[in-house]
């Protein structure tokens, strides 16, 4: 029987401008990218989210076509789907938000029905911390793993509820700048200790094109990023990263330190695929063989003779 993965996050229309191209209102959002990345693994994935009256049915069909349960996606007639517009500069790392239209996301109050109340793995994707707390409180059976994502906006403006939800999860995925912002520290080592003291057992610190580290029990494990030939769109990299991480873990009988380390390799692999095209386009027809080849390539990058 396949493990059950529940992803609670956003579904969006993204408008993205880079120095090389522009796309308007493409299918995006944290829940979208996480679910599509995780769907490449043997699991039962479901999404809880909200979309507006302008949302195209073909995108629901796309999700279903990738084995994702969409019955938890509410379609509101009160407004439009969440929209985000951003611009990337020549280094493809520096990003500026042009516009954010919350639209129906402002009314989003996740309802965790009986069908979704006992996931094996729960991902609380980038959302208001109060929504994340409300969602977790509706889960009736403790999952094997609860993974949290957040961002600088919540850190700056909603510190109290954010600290509360951090204390309730097993893993927090955060980038290096956010870790320093959250703790007020100047070094990642000190920042990680402070975050661990808030409650999570594991902290994933992402460093973009450099790679990511898993911190636990005063130890850490680093995995480099795969050097893609061309970065087209970094928007969903962190979400696809999480999708690869939880997707791999969902296939394992137990969640151990060694499986977490392997999951981090798969996370880096999936994060590298999504940046090669706009939106989630590179994930849709991605083969298991391609994933395995990239995972092996990342492992080869860190292999050495210790004699």
Let me know if residue 307 belongs to a domain.
no
d(CA 224, CA 86): 26
At 304 the three-state DSSP class reads: coil
Let me know if residue 306 belongs to a domain.
no
Q: Which structure tokens are listed for 120? A: 């094996």
Structural domains of the chain, count:
1
Q: What is the mean pLDDT of residues 245-266?
A: 97
d(CA 246, CA 242): 6
Q: Which domain holds residue 271?
A: 3-301
User: Under a CB-based contact definition with an 8 Å cutoff, are residues 76 and 50 in contact?
Assistant: yes
Answer whether 0.85 is exceeded by the pTM.
yes
Q: Which structure tokens are listed for 206? A: 């992402």
**Over the stretch 124-136, which tens digit does the pLDDT of each residue have?**
999 999 999 999 9
d(CA 178, CA 286): 30
Let me know if residue 156 belongs to a domain.
yes
Confidence of residue 307 (pLDDT cuts 50, 70, 90): low
User: Under a CB-based contact definition with an 8 Å cutoff, are residues 132 and 148 in contact?
Assistant: yes
Q: What is the mean pLDDT of residues 42-55?
A: 98
**Over the stretch 152-200, which tens digit does the pLDDT of each residue have?**
999 999 999 999 999 999 999 999 999 999 999 999 999 999 999 999 9
pLDDT at 304: 80
pLDDT at 165: 99
**Mean pLDDT score of the chain, rounded to an integer?**
97
**Over the stretch 99-116, which tens digit does the pLDDT of each residue have?**
999 999 999 999 999 999
Q: Which structure tokens are listed for 202? A: 């594991």
Q: Which position has the token pair 């049915």?
A: 57
pLDDT at 1: 77
Let me know if residue 231 belongs to a domain.
yes
pLDDT at position 218 over 80:
yes
User: Under a CB-based contact definition with an 8 Å cutoff, are residues 15 and 83 in contact?
Assistant: yes
d(CA 226, CA 283): 16
pLDDT at position 305 over 80:
no
Let me know if residue 204 belongs to a domain.
yes
pLDDT at 213: 98
Virtual torsion, Cα 121, 49, 69, 111, nearest 10 deg:
70
Query: DSSP secondary-structure letter at 2?
Result: P
pLDDT at position 252 over 70:
yes
* CA pseudo-torsion sign 82, 162, 242, 299: positive
Q: For the chain, how big is the Rg over CA atoms in Å?
A: 18
252: how many CB neighbours lie within 10 A of its CB? 15
pLDDT at position 231 over 70:
yes
pLDDT at 47: 99
pLDDT at 237: 97
CATH of the domain at 285: 3.40.1190.20
């Amino acid at each position: 029987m396949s493990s059950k993965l529940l992803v609670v996050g956003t579904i969006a229309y993204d408008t993205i401008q880079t120095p090389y191209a522009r796309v308007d209102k493409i299918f995006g959002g944290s829940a979208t990218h996480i679910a599509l990345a995780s769907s490449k693994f043997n699991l039962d994935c479901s999404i809880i989210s909200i979309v507006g009256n302008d949302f195209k049915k073909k995108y629901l069909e796309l999700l279903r076509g990738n084995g994702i349960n969409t019955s938890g996606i509410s379609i509101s007639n009160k407004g439009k789907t969440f929209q985000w517009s951003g611009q990337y500069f020549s280094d493809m790392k520096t990003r500026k938000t042009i516009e954010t239209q919350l639209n129906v996301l402002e009314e989003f109050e996740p309802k965790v029905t009986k069908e979704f109340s006992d996931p094996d793995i729960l991902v609380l994707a980038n959302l208001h911390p109060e929504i994340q707390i409300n969602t977790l409180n509706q889960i009736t059976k403790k999952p094997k793993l609860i993974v949290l994502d957040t961002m600088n906006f919540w850190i700056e403006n909603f510190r109290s509820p954010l600290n509360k939800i951090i204390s309730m999860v097993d893993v927090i995925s955060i980038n290096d700048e956010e870790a320093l912002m959250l703790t007020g520290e100047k070094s990642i080592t000190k920042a990680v200790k402070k975050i661990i003291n808030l409650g999570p057992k594991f902290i994933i610190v992402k460093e973009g094109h450099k790679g990511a580290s898993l911190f636990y029990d005063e130890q850490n494990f680093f995995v480099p990023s795969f050097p893609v030939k061309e970065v087209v769109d970094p928007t969903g990299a962190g979400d696809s990263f999480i999708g690869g991480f939880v997707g791999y873990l969902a296939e394992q009988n137990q969640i151990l330190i060694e499986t977490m380390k392997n999951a981090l390799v798969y996370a880096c692999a999936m994060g590298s695929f999504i940046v090669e095209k706009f939106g989630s386009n590179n994930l849709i027809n991605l083969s298991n063989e391609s994933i395995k080849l990239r995972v092996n390539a990342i492992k080869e990058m860190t292999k050495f003779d210790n004699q």
